[in-house]
Amino acid sequence: MGFDTKDKATAQQPPYPLHNDPPRFRKISRYIGSLSLALIAASVAYYFCPGRLLAHPAVASEHTAQGQHLRGGDPVCPQADALVPGVNHDVWLTLGEALSTQGFQDHAVYAISGAVQIKGESFIDMGPVGNDSRWEVHAAMHEYLVRAFPLINKFLKREIVNTYGLLYTWGGSDPSLKPLLMLAHMDTVPVDEDTLREWTHPPWSGDFDGTYIWGRGSADDKSGMIGTMLAIEMLIGRGFFPTRTVILAFGFDEEIGGVQGAGHISPVLQQRYGPNSFAAILDEGGSFGEEYGSIFASPGVAEKGSMNVRMEITGAGGHSSVPPAHTSIGKLAAAIVKLEDSPFEAHLLRESVIYRRLLCLAQYGADMDPMLRQKIKDSMTSDQSLLELEGILFSAAPVVKTLVSTTQSVNIVQGGFAQNALPERASAIVNHRIDSLSSSAAVKARDASTLEEIARRFNLNYHPFGTANYHSAAFTGNFSLVATTLLEPSPISPTEGVGAGAYHVLSGSIVAAYNAYNWTNSGRSKEVDTIFVTPALPSGNTDTRFYWDLSSNIFRYNHDNFGSPEHPLGGGVHSVNERLHVRVFLEMVRFYFTYILNMQEYHEA
């Protein structure tokens, strides 16, 4: 049964998951300080300079800058105020009180544990829905959600898209307000059977040891799906109904690209609502944690693009006893070496996301080394200092280069069919992650130019991306480049100036949710602003790739605390011992209902 937040003392026992045995509960009673590792863990971020919240009735208090100002008396990276609901303030307080009860904790653990127990692995070789029986596992999740969230299934319109995608509509009373779209996915990456003995608790157990909920999907992304639904179930139980429509869209193949799930849900929403019809979109993504002695939250406001390029060289076959100087495989090997010896240039540019994040870290990182802070300050106006800063970062952690440029990685090589036959065909797949300030056209032009030397060296007819760049009269074969998959870098959601109101609501909600936890657990009588928000650029892609046309305000943020002592090493995401700290999960729920309530009172400019 659903938890009624009107009764804050106790919570009604929810139903067990759809399994023969109840979940096993045993009564056994993360950010990284270095710059390079922090950039990897939290990903990269954009400069944040918001201004005041647009037409929001409740702004709690001015967020004071900590750390040293980099430019005169004005902070380089201004911060949002803690934002608590105004009209719905009493609802927010009541939900916060309910969240701290043992009854709700038990309820929340049951909900996420039951979802973890339902297998929903996505495999890269899965065929379309209806042609591959492996999709059928998601039917059990549908049944579970109906039982676990009775209020949602009573008061929200539920639709099924492409058999296993879920679309919930919580109709608002004011149709003039653009809806809020909240995304999550029910599928997980597979569990390697060879690692089963390495798991502290079985990957599909949903075990709770008093601290962690264990199992595949507990952190990615069943916590996002179940956390959102718990927040809405709490709101309904308190008697709240929205003025702004809230829509939930849950895909089931995000881990392998989202084509069957979000790829089918998005057209439904586009046909129903039209382009740019949503006030904001929220999906999984950034977290918060400590860097340089301060707490930073990193919601993603953009994503890199990606492109797989198939390099293929063909030539005459024959018996291996009379080989040419270079076979097709040898020529392909030369092409691979040429590509790897010619990486994309990496520079720390002032307009880059890395640099703008550095400004925020230097502004608010209480324990940053004074020399590094000064170097960042000097780089704002000195090109020489900027080059020196680049050298410091790249030398300390070469991986930072991958975060400020387009990358390339040769991941699949194929060629040959017999040990005594010359290969007539050889190919390789190169995966590019396209920098947010670049484009697929720039990557294609660079690949074509770089590899033309190989075509000339071996007298190959050269056809990069459908063009005829080089033709040899004495050709020995053909060399082609084909983009097999392509995703442009995403649009960048506004974080300052006109159009940034939705980002201000998100930032203020993060601060308010974080502070509310501190009040509850420290006994403080008034708020203290101890978290700073910096827009981020996640290293991977989410289901938001299918929703770009629906809103200019797309954010990727979970409000989890990966990298903290409570949630070390990313909680085992995509690895052995994936787990979720119960306190982290409860704070995710707090953020979700805070954000939903604040978005009800936000009015677009």
Q: List active site positions.
A: 187, 254
SS (H, E, C) 469-499: CECCCCCCEEEEEEEEEEECCCCCCCCCCCC
Q: Is 283 annotated as a binding residue?
A: yes
- In contact, 507 and 80? CB cutoff 8 Å: yes
- Distance between CA 541 and CA 526 in Å, rounded? 39
One-letter identity of residue 599: M
Q: Is 185 annotated as a binding residue?
A: yes
In the numeric block, the tokens 């010619």 are attached to: 342
Cα–Cα distance for residue pair 214/104, rounded to 1 Å:
19
What are the residues facing 336 on neighbouring strands?
none
307 vs 444: CA distance, rounded Å: 9
| DSSP assigned state of 236 | H
Count CB atoms within 10 A of the CB of residue 160: 10
Question: Could you tell me the two tokens for 100?
Answer: 């701290």
d(CA 393, CA 388): 9
255 is in an annotated binding site: yes
* Residue 285 CB contacts under 8 Å (≥ 6 apart), including other chains: 299, 300, 536, 538, 542, 555, 556, 557, 558
Cα(477)–Cα(468) distance, integer angstroms: 14
Residue 170 host element (H or E):
strand 165-170
CA distance 388 to 379: 8
Q: Which residues contact 85 (CB under 8 A, 6 or more apart)?
A: 58, 91, 92, 594, 597, 598, 600, 601
Annotate 50-94 with DSSP letters as a single string. Answer: --SPSS-S---B-----S--SBTTB-SS--PPB---STTHHHHHH
Measured CA distances, 222 to 108, 123, 302, 348, 504 (Å): 12, 17, 22, 36, 27
Q: What sign results for the dihedral spanned by CA atoms 41, 42, 43, 47?
A: negative
Can you say which residues are annotated as belonging to the binding site for Zn(2+)? 185, 220, 255, 283, 574
Can you say which residues are annotated as belonging to the binding site? 185, 220, 255, 283, 574
